[in-house]
Structure 1
Amino acid sequence: MGRTANLNTAFLFPGQGAQKPAMLHELVDDPVVELTLDEISDVLRTDVRLLDSPEALNSTVSVQLALLASGVATARALQRRGVTCCAVAGLSVGAFAAAVVAEAITLKDAVVLVRSRAEKMERLYPVGYGLAAIVGLNERQVTAIVDSVHSAATPVFVGNINAPRQIVVAGSVAGMQKVLEEARRQGAGKAELLHVSVPSHCPLLSSVADALRLQLSSMELKAPKFPYIANVNGRAVRSASGVATDLADNIAHGVRWHDATIIAEELGCNLFLEMPPGHTLTDLVEENVPGVTSSVVTKDLFKHVLRLAAA
């Protein structure tokens, strides 16, 4: 973790796969955290804090709502302590937290959308589908493997480009297993199924994107207070319509996360703070934009993070 003068901060929000039991009970100590969790609970009409048990996290709905709660609550705690944003970026469902923190969408509307999104995803593909990660091959190599395996019986697609040689594929487990076998044969250092039970970021979820687009059309979005970096094209978005398009479309398209981190640096961000839980996005920052300062925001590291942001 490097040090840079005149730090400009990007807030990063993780997606599904980062969740862990008790994640909502391990957030930073700040009154705004509890207020945010209460606000979400009021919308859900149940205590969001119940969604981080091992049993609850077997549900895509619980996972995505818990990630939204964790991200928004932590970012608000940082903002209350005077940390200002240069840009926000959220991976997959993390995009909704990013949009809330940028004040492009209300937290209430984000809760409604995330719950609807997750419920539809879960109903469409209850078993036999998901995501897999391949490390060590580039996008061209993985695309060629995927194209050779994809069929009506074994649908599989290139999903997220997290780094030049960290690629996520989405689709049927049967199709992904064939892709992983060939990836290993071609020298991938890692090729394994992820703990995600839905095929996010591929055309199999186009109907969910259509439904989200319809829901968003009835909501009032605003231009983000600072750049919102989109999932679908990895570009900075500054309009309400641009945020709405990305929130709807990202579920059915791959995520250009590598591009997003590069764009954040080009915008002047040189301190990247990852909202809890997990550290995957911090690891990707260190790979994609070496030399910048990056940190996870945990209860133990909160004071350290505040010192970094004040530098």
Structure 2
Amino acid sequence: MSSSTAFIFPGQGSQKVGMLAEIAAQEAIVNDTLVEASDILGFDLRGMILEGPADALNSTENTQPALLTSSVALWRLWQARGGAQPEFVAGHSLGEYSALVAGGVLSFADAVHLVRNRGIYMQEAVPPGEGAMAAVLGLDDEKVIELCQDTAQDGEVLSAVNFNAPGQVVIAGSAVAVERAATVFAEAGARKVMPLPVSVPSHCALMKPAAERLAKDLDSIMLSAPSISVVQNVTASVANDVNVIRTNLVSQLSQPVRWVESVRYMVSNGVAGFNECGPGKVLAGLGKRIERSVPVVGMENLSALPDA
């Protein structure tokens, strides 16, 4: 099978104030994309991305459109520079929406509105302090799943939600259950259990109310058949039917991100390199642990574009 390239798009956690500042100052297409998103939303998202304040950028309903916009800006720059079309696109959690824009499934304007609402729905689904997430290092997937089932009590939600790399799984659910799990997992041999600084417990059953609201939004917009194969989080495989894509996006809010399987699916289908199209290097770090022999090149700086 001939080798090819895939573009992967980061999710929440990759944002920082000033992301893309250097490249936006030098490339009109990047700056124009930030302005376009601001016009779509009716507030200065560009200013928030480039100048902060951090607490506003890190609020979920702002983080999501900010990261999507930054990723799409870099994708547009790649296209404007004559970059080759990848064989696959995929995104981690929120990043799946960036991948769907790149793959021609969602318009940029629809995606910006969707992820803005998605962030609001997620925040409103669980009262502050009642949900939590934590990263578990050093246990295999099956053990984490088993311990989540054993640790939850009295109807509490506790699930393995992000399979990010071998030996790195994120759990989410009721705050009291996640706190209890830290002790249980440590006793079971986990190298580390790290609480994550997030305000919503993503990809678990507590997000079902948000998923129901998002489904109504998705039903109201047009999705187009993908021009590039999109690997979705929920299935770790490609969907070409827009109705399947829509269903998977709704399910994604309350079901796990199967990132390890997604990366391996692309590699097994001939991908020999990944371009991380967005701020930061989170996915590059995960890629080294999933398939060390397959390089991941970041694209947030102009100097990196030739390598990509």
Fold equivalence (TM over 0.5): yes
Paired residue for 1:17, among 5, 13, 16?
13
Paired residue for 1:42, among 33, 39, 42?
39
Structure 1 CA distance for aligned equivalents of residues 298 and 201 of structure 2: 27
Q: CA, structure 1 residues 264+112, in 2 after alignment: closer, same or farther (shift >3 Å)?
A: same
Structure 1 CA distance for aligned equivalents of residues 10 and 36 of structure 2: 21
Structure 2 CA distance for aligned equivalents of residues 159 and 98 of structure 1: 20
Contact 2:298 2:304 in 1 (8 A): no
102-111 or 182-191: bigger deviation:
182-191
Structure 2 CA distance for aligned equivalents of residues 182 and 79 of structure 1: 49
CA-to-partner distance for each residue in 1:233-271, whole Å, 9 max, x for gaps?
111122322322222221110010001001111232212
CA-to-partner distance for each residue in 1:69-119, whole Å, 9 max, x for gaps?
111111111122122211111111111111011110101111111111111
Superposition deviation, residue 229 in structure 1:
0.5
Contact 2:126 2:206 in 1 (8 A): no
CA-to-partner distance for each residue in 1:21-80, whole Å, 9 max, x for gaps?
222434464222122112211110112123332121241111111111111111111122
Structure 2 CA distance for aligned equivalents of residues 26 and 194 of structure 1: 29
Is 1:31 the equivalent of 2:34? no
2:62 aligned partner: 62
What SS does structure 2 have at the residue aligned with 1:167?
A: strand
Structure 2 CA distance for aligned equivalents of residues 88 and 289 of structure 1: 17
Paired residue for 1:180, among 182, 196, 219?
182
Contact 2:74 2:278 in 1 (8 A): yes
Structure 1 CA distance for aligned equivalents of residues 196 and 163 of structure 2: 15
**What count of residue pairs does the alignment treat as equivalent?**
301
Contact 1:158 1:168 in 2 (8 A): yes
Contact 1:158 1:169 in 2 (8 A): yes
- Work out the percentage of aligned pairs sharing the same amino acid: 35
The aligned amino acid for 1:69 is: T
Structure-1-length-normalised TM-score: 0.91
Is 1:8 the equivalent of 2:21? no
Structure-2-length-normalised TM-score: 0.92
What SS does structure 2 have at the residue aligned with 1:284?
A: helix
Paired residue for 2:297, among 295, 298, 303?
295
Superposition deviation, residue 126 in structure 1:
4.1
What SS does structure 1 have at the residue aligned with 2:136?
A: strand
Structure 1 CA distance for aligned equivalents of residues 23 and 189 of structure 2: 39
What SS does structure 1 have at the residue aligned with 2:271?
A: coil
Q: CA, structure 1 residues 50+171, in 2 after alignment: closer, same or farther (shift >3 Å)?
A: farther
Show structure 1 runs of 4+ deviating over 4 A: none
Q: Which runs of 5+ in 1 are unaligned?
A: 1-5
Q: CA, structure 1 residues 207+37, in 2 after alignment: closer, same or farther (shift >3 Å)?
A: same
Structure 1 CA distance for aligned equivalents of residues 305 and 3 of structure 2: 12
Structure 2 CA distance for aligned equivalents of residues 103 and 287 of structure 1: 30
Q: CA, structure 1 residues 81+8, in 2 after alignment: closer, same or farther (shift >3 Å)?
A: farther
Q: CA, structure 1 residues 217+107, in 2 after alignment: closer, same or farther (shift >3 Å)?
A: same
Q: Which runs of 5+ in 2 are unaligned?
A: none
CA-to-partner distance for each residue in 1:154-213, whole Å, 9 max, x for gaps?
421110111231111111222111112221222222211112210110111112112222
Paired residue for 1:197, among 199, 207, 219?
199
Q: CA, structure 1 residues 187+60, in 2 after alignment: closer, same or farther (shift >3 Å)?
A: same
Contact 1:163 1:257 in 2 (8 A): yes
Q: CA, structure 1 residues 276+115, in 2 after alignment: closer, same or farther (shift >3 Å)?
A: same
Contact 1:13 1:275 in 2 (8 A): yes
Contact 2:121 2:213 in 1 (8 A): no
1:3 aligned partner: none
105-114 or 56-65: bigger deviation:
56-65
Structure 2 CA distance for aligned equivalents of residues 278 and 185 of structure 1: 33
97-106 or 284-293: bigger deviation:
284-293
**Cα-Cα RMSD:** 1.8
